[in-house]
Structure 1
Amino acid sequence: MAFKKTAATLAVTASLLSQAATAHAGELNLLTWEGYAPDASVKPFEAASGCKVTATYVGSNDDFAAKLAAGGGVYDIITPSLDTVPMMQLAGFTQPIDVAKVKDYDGIYPEFAKAEALVAKGRIWAVPMVWGSVSIIYRPDKVPAPDSIGVLFDPKYKGRISLWDDKSAIYWTARYLGYSNIFDLSDKQLDTIKAKLIEQKSLTRKYWTSAGELTELIANGEVYVSNAWTGLTSKEVNALKKGFSVAEVTPKERAEGWMDSMMLVTGSPNTECAYKFMSFMQSPAGQCGIAQSTGYFPVNPKAVGTCMDETTRQERKVGNIDFVKSLVMWQQPKRLDKYIEVWNAVKSAP
């Protein structure tokens, strides 16, 4: 796997530097995910833009609303997933995006830039940043290659299973039970799912709340199998060289897909820095930087042509829209409150 620092990448940085020469120093407060503000990307952006970046991290999409409601005016950009964008817009937490201010916006996959969740009232509310899937991660020395979500419900691995602390556990269980309407489940279906997850809870070592926590659980030998954000945890665990490796697999019930986007918080006093950041994240340095730090997939195929080699482009599904179509892409559940209620009931159950 190789990421290349090319003349084009340097040109983007030089362009930003020239803009920064006359810009006033500013600040930018991000509410985002692990791996989305690595020093390797943030430091060059700060130097080029004159904007000091401060990042606060979330472990679940449900954290965005809670933190925004509690900390008015603290954040400038949030990066929720596709299924959470509409709620942020409807709640008034975010404001429309002027895409004319986002350099290289037209290089983003149209399937993402024009996604229904990002458009409302004739305006664009979010700028795609990075995308990926959620797969099963496992230790091949402890668990034979699984082909189904059922491995997360197998008593054989009691105490060695983990699951993301997120309402998407409902999606996983719904697919395992054969439900196709996973974002519009009936009360009866949700009751069945709740019972199944409460049963599964006795098998679970811990619900993980961040990729770093899952990495520790696996690296310390506490967990053998879990669901995971494809690419990130496997990269981190295998880099530790603990004497074992982990692998990832797409279950026969299909993998979920997600896409995280940048949204501008209502009333942000730092919109100039915010738009500079959105533009930077569409550049070769931004797209290859986040792909390298996370293992996820770029949303702007034009940008990575100068900083990824061909092997890496294939691994990161660059131009592979058929792979996107093979995923169950996240949507906001029709009854979001009910889903959150069910998941909280599972977690509070003895």
Structure 2
Amino acid sequence: MTKSHGRGRVWLSVISAAMVAESSFANAAELNILTWEGYADPSFIEKFEQSSGCKTTSTYVGSNDDFAPKLAAGGGVYDIIVPSIDTIGLMRQAGFVQPIDTSKIEGWANVYPEFSTATDVAAEGETWSVPLVWGSISLMYRPDKIEPAPDSIGVLFDPKYKGKIAMWDDKSSLYWTARLLGYDNIYDLTDEQLETVKQKLIEQKPLIRKYWATAGELTELYANQEIWVSNTWTGLQSKEVNALDKGFQVVEFTPKEKAEGWMDSMQLVKGTPNEECAYKFFSFMLNADGQCGIVGSTGYFPVNPDAVSACLTGAEAEAKKVNNIEFVKSLVMWQMPARLDKYLETWNAVKAAP
């Protein structure tokens, strides 16, 4: 797909208007991180704080669409943000982040080059983010309730499971629906295609129990037996649900329409006074304690295979796709939509529909 330099222009202008001219950042040596659940678990964050002398405070997002509004309204609260690969370019275009000096990051050379040189990670002759962790988005269901075993995204649109379906409250719901409809250009849909996707999602709404926002919320929906099937962040929520031992298990599967792939990376908020701590954090997270820690807390896949050589071996390494970059190529990797503002408008129209 040819990327448009004008992508998201309307939304970017709104963001720019909301940005404050002067920012009052947190005190030096105190990193404020805007990130995802499981990415700041005490099991490894405490090691960072002890070794670096830098205190951390983490705020969690439920969607990539949360980053820009929080930064625009935050008045300089955050030092590091951790958006996905389809959002890091927007953060650069909006002027929220500054380039990364990779010479200051221990472990940078060992990151999969498919990530360290990816579009928007590297742009305009600079590096704009530090890859952290990656994975896929699959489907998850209760095999005791849904038979036969599903193999398609279509299970999320099956009237037989009305009231027992959940979908992530994220614009990626458009991608899922577009793939179900057989569209290959899911990040550059035409107006007509977007309209068809919107109508398909509006037709689905009576079947939906909840659009979930966080990993914890989806886990509770299953734990309370409110839902039987959903999309899911592969590896994380199934582990959490099954660990509750509620008398049932959930199973993940990759639909025949393929799974989406993502990579989350760390970005340095423009003007932060805490660069020294930020670079210590980048180095920590790319090495053994950080990579093993975040893989252990989330179930996701490491970006630095060398860093996990001691903590992931044999079957564990195979399950986490260590040195299996071919798996990345099998996924429909996220990209920033060519017309981001139109995609957001469409998704918001779906949610606003009765």
User: TM-score, with normalisation over the residues of structure 2?
Assistant: 0.91
> Which residue does the alignment assign to 2:49?
46
Deviation at 1:143, TM superposition (A): 1.0
> Which residue does the alignment assign to 2:132?
129
1:159–1:205 CA contact under 8 A, matched in 2: yes
Deviation at 1:309, TM superposition (A): 2.1
**Match 1:37 to one of 40, 58, 74:** 40
Residue 70 in 1 paired to residue 73 in 2? yes
Deviation at 1:163, TM superposition (A): 0.1
d(CA) in 2 for partners of 1:100, 1:322: 28
d(CA) in 2 for partners of 1:73, 1:97: 18
1:25–1:50 CA contact under 8 A, matched in 2: no
> Which residue does the alignment assign to 1:236?
240
> Which residue does the alignment assign to 2:225?
221
Deviation at 1:302, TM superposition (A): 0.7
d(CA) in 1 for partners of 2:110, 2:315: 21
1:161–1:204 CA contact under 8 A, matched in 2: yes
1:161–1:225 CA contact under 8 A, matched in 2: yes
d(CA) in 2 for partners of 1:72, 1:232: 32
Post-superposition Cα deviations, 1:47-77, rounded to whole Å, max 9, x if no partner, equal 0000001000000001000000001211010
> Which residue does the alignment assign to 2:7?
none
d(CA) in 2 for partners of 1:247, 1:90: 39
d(CA) in 2 for partners of 1:51, 1:146: 47
Residue 93 in 1 paired to residue 108 in 2? no
Q: Classify the secondary structure of the residue corresponding to 2:318.
A: helix
> Which residue does the alignment assign to 1:348?
352
**Match 2:58 to one of 52, 55, 76:** 55
Q: Classify the secondary structure of the residue corresponding to 2:291.
A: helix
- Counterpart AA for 2:127: I
> Which residue does the alignment assign to 1:139?
142
d(CA) in 1 for partners of 2:253, 2:75: 40
> Which residue does the alignment assign to 1:269?
273
d(CA) in 2 for partners of 1:198, 1:140: 27
User: TM-score, with normalisation over the residues of structure 1?
Assistant: 0.92
> Which residues of 2 match residues 166-315 of structure 1 at below 5 A?
166-315=170-319
Aligned-residue CA RMSD (Å):
0.9
**Match 1:114 to one of 109, 117, 125:** 117
Aligned length: 327
> Which residue does the alignment assign to 1:324?
328
Deviation at 1:229, TM superposition (A): 0.4
- Counterpart AA for 1:94: V
d(CA) in 2 for partners of 1:25, 1:334: 38
**Hey, which bits of structure 1, 4+ residues long, moved more than 4 A?**
none
- Counterpart AA for 2:153: I
1:167–1:340 CA contact under 8 A, matched in 2: yes
- Counterpart AA for 1:75: Y
